[in-house]
Amino acid sequence: MYDSIIARLSFFDGIDILAPLIERHFKNRIALVSSFGAESAVLLHMVAEVDRSVPIIFLDTGKLFWETLGYRSKLVDQLGLTDIRLMTPDATELAQSDPDGALYRSNPDLCCHIRKSEPLERGLKGFDAWISGRKRFHGGLRASIPTLEITDGRLKVEPLARFTAKDIDDYMDHYALPHHPLVDQGYHSIGCMPCTVKGGTADNPRAGRWAGLSKSECGIHWSANGKPLRVARH
């Protein structure tokens, strides 16, 4: 089934790929995973235009900027989103692996795994497809992402894969969507507070993430042999 959907829809972008997936192919079986970050308003708006009741999975890591939490509330109200699902780290896992909240300093990959990857696994249970907001212009591992692919037994949808930075800006302007408050302060990509610094450019927005480390991804988008990547717990 997935192969035929990929063959028919992989040439479409934005709302043109979202509408048939949400309304027909995966009705009540698809969710959007959103960070409510610097560019998130575009995809959230597109999904809301199709169906405001689509579940929105939000990974509340416990390390987010307070501005992100406020921005989430603002967009939820403005777009009329009705099903926001907050996924948080497992309390027992945090107590065992990150009791002082400083794991990001010694093992950022494990920190991301506990605070993002494992909660996402729980959040996606029961869904056959999920929507992500990655774009090729972000570069690195994202430079060649497909619009549709099968990962871990689910269809993964990237409606904005072929969008450019200008496409994002034009969409925001056209629909008068509010910007994340940290964008005006010089943040081009916004994740957890300890691992995000001001920086980046329109063409390389993720330069401010995990600055000074070889790490460029949190891990939620990458798997090996059909299973989420595991990291060393030491």
Q: Residue 130's beta-bridge partner residues?
A: 31, 156
The token pair at 196 is: 């995000």
The residue whose two tokens read 């689509």 is 54
Question: Whats the size of the chain, residue-wise?
Answer: 234
DSSP 67-121: HHHHHHHHHHHHHT---EEEE---HHHHHHH-TTS-HHHH-HHHHHIIIIIHHHH
For residue 151, give the H/E element and its range.
strand 148-151
218 carries an active-site annotation: yes
Are the C-beta atoms of 233 and 96 separated by less than 8 Å? Answer: no
Q: How many angstroms separate the CA atoms of 99 and 111, rounded?
A: 11
Q: What is the DSSP letter of 139?
A: -
The catalytic position among 111, 112, 195, 218 is 218
Give CA separation, 152 vs 47, 178, 192, in Å: 23, 34, 25
Q: How many angstroms separate the CA atoms of 133 and 24, rounded?
A: 21
Catalytic residues: 218
